[in-house]
Each structure stands twice: as structure tokens, then as C-alpha cells.
Amino acid sequence: MELQALIFDVDGTLAETERDGHRPAFNAAFAEAGLTWNWDEDLYGELLAVTGGKERIRHFAERFDPAFLARGDAQEAIRGLHAAKTRHYLAQVRAGAVPLRPGIARLLRQAVERGLRLAIATTTSAENVTELLQANLGSDACRWFEVIGAGDVVARKKPAPDIYAWVLQRLALGPAACLAFEDSANGLAASLAAGIATVVTVGEYTHGQDFRGAAAVLSDLGEATAAYVPPTAGGHGHACVDVDLLRAWHRRSTNSAYMGDKKL
Ligand code: XBP
Ligand code: MG
């Protein structure tokens, strides 16, 4: 089956959004609401096991402040905190404080030029995605993506495969025609459960996670200008991850004859 579409996760994959983006935005929302909660980097690393901002706030309160959840308006309070957090996060994005990871802009442009279809499958909101794309790639960039599957359009967030299934349905493609890009074990579990071969670019918070089953595990996609050779791609002759290399990984992952062969 020929590769037809690339499906990208956002947080940790398109950009390192968590440490200096989402995390301080959560803390600013908590302070604004008069809460003494503060998520430092170590705690935030643990909390990332729960995907989705509203779900993460609820999980934190269950563990550290059950009295908050006992309030009659807890559900509404969580929604309010999350809305404030999104406002703070978007201000950072618009200020240009959340750049794309190496190789993302280059690969997206090349994929569009080479006729590959593009989509997004993320836990965060559609607004966060479009603003991140526009801030980094210009106002037209959202149009490069045929489908943006985001946030609450599915009931179960990653590691459930639902958001990938939602995107596949709208692309009208089977999983074997696609390649996914993820940075975390939760994201990889979601894409693999949807049957999609997946390239992992390990992120700031995801070192040491279990990436078994990935088509390739890399530090990042690399820039053509840097003498970067992905560790799992020894001997392929590409200085960075490009569409030809993706096609080779996709063939290897979807062709069972290649499955036992670790060489490219
Ligand atoms: C990303 C998430 C999100 C972001 C915050 O996971 O878990 O919750 O941290 O986004 P993935 P919201 O990269 O696997 O999609 O606060 O907008 O939910
Ligand atoms: Mg991610």
C-alpha cells in the first residue's frame, strides 16, 4: 500500500509545547483563581501521564486536593481553569515563544509539494493547533491540513485510538495508507492501536518511555543544513528525515515481508 497521508500529533511532536507553554499557563490560571497549586517540572512530568488539560486538572485534584472536587461546582471550576489556561497558553504562542521542532517546517513543506495529504490527531484543542501553525508557518498553514482531529471531538483521549480513528474516517483512508508522528508512549499506543505505522521523535518529557512497535525512534526529524543522521537510519544516506525516507519506513512497516528485517 502506497503512503498517502501523514498524521501529526501536536504537543511534543510539532513543538515542545509542554514545559514552557502549557505548564506555566496552567500555573498562571491557578494563581489567577486564587489557588495555591503549582506544577513544577518534575510534577508536571508525572501529570503528563494523563492526557488532556481538563482531565489532568481533575487527576491532580483527586490526588492532592480532594476538597476542591467536593465543591458542588467542581466541574464548572475545572472548565473555567482550563479556559483561563488556554488564554495564557495562546498568548505565549502568539508571542512566538513556542517554536516548531527541528525539521517540522521543512518536512511539512516537502510533503505538501510531493502530494502527500496532511492531518492532525491531538489531545489539545483545535484553537491551540491553528494558532501554533499560524504563529510559526503563516496564516495559510492551516489549509495544508485536510483534517484536524483535536480535543473533545472524541470521548476517550490518547492512549485510546479514537482520535486516530476519527481522522482516518474523515480522510477516508485505511491505516495502511498513513504514517503517524508521535513523541510519547501514550500517543504511540493510540496510533498503533489504530493500526498506523508510527515514527517517534522523542520529546523533552518522554525520554526512557517504551516505544516498542514504532517504525523508527529518533531524537528529531533533523534539518537539511545540519549533518544529522537519525540513529535508527544508519546507512540510508539521508542527512535528515525526508519524504523518500518516510516512504521507505512506511513500506518496511506495512509490508510483512520486511517486518523481521531490521535493516532499512
Ligand atoms: C497532549 C496533552 C495535552 C496538553 C494540553 O498530549 O496531553 O493535554 O498537555 O492540552 P498529546 P489541553 O501530545 O499526546 O496529544 O490543555 O488543551 O488539553
Ligand atoms: Mg504528544
Question: Atom 13 of ligand 1 has which residue's CA nearest to it?
Answer: 11
**Ligand 1 atom nearest to CA at 151:** 18
d(C-alpha 233, C-alpha 244), whole Å: 12
Res 225: pLDDT: 64
Q: List strand residue ranges (DSSP E) for the chain, in order.
A: 5-8, 117-122, 145-150, 178-182, 197-201, 216-218
Residue 143 pLDDT greater than 90, yes or no: yes
Side by side, the strands of the sheet bearing 178-182 are 145-150, 117-122, 5-8, 178-182, 197-201, 216-218
Active-site residue, from 11, 162, 183, 220: 11
How many other CB atoms are found less than 10 A from the CB of residue 89?
Answer: 28
- The letter for the amino acid at 171 is L
Task: Return d(Cα 17, Cα 12) in angstroms, integer.
Answer: 6
pTM, two decimal places = 0.92
- For residue 65, indicate whether it is catalytic: no
Active site residue 244: no
257 falls in which pLDDT band (50, 70, 90)?
very low
Q: What are phi and psi of 260, to 5 degrees?
A: -85, -5
- Assigned C-alpha cell, 263: 535493516
- Most ligand 1 atoms within 8 A of CB, residue of 17, 27, 51 to mutate: 51
What is the position in ligand 1's atom list of the atom closest to the CA of 157? 15
Give the Å distance between the CA of 70 and the centre of ligand 2: 31
What number is the average pLDDT over the span 239-263? 75
Q: Taking residues 226-251, what's their average pLDDT?
A: 71
Distance 74 CA to ligand 1 centre (A): 21
Pocket (CB within 6 angstroms of ligand 1): 9-12, 18, 22, 51-53, 122-125, 128, 158, 184, 186-187
What pLDDT is recorded for position 255?
79
88-126 pLDDT, tens digit each? 999 999 999 999 999 999 999 999 999 999 999 999 999
Q: Write out the DSSP string of 105-159.
A: HHHHHHHHHTT-EEEEEESS-HHHHHHHHHHHH-TTGGGGEEEEEEGGGSSS-TT
For residue 223, the model assigns a pLDDT of: 81
Confidence of residue 263 (pLDDT cuts 50, 70, 90): very low
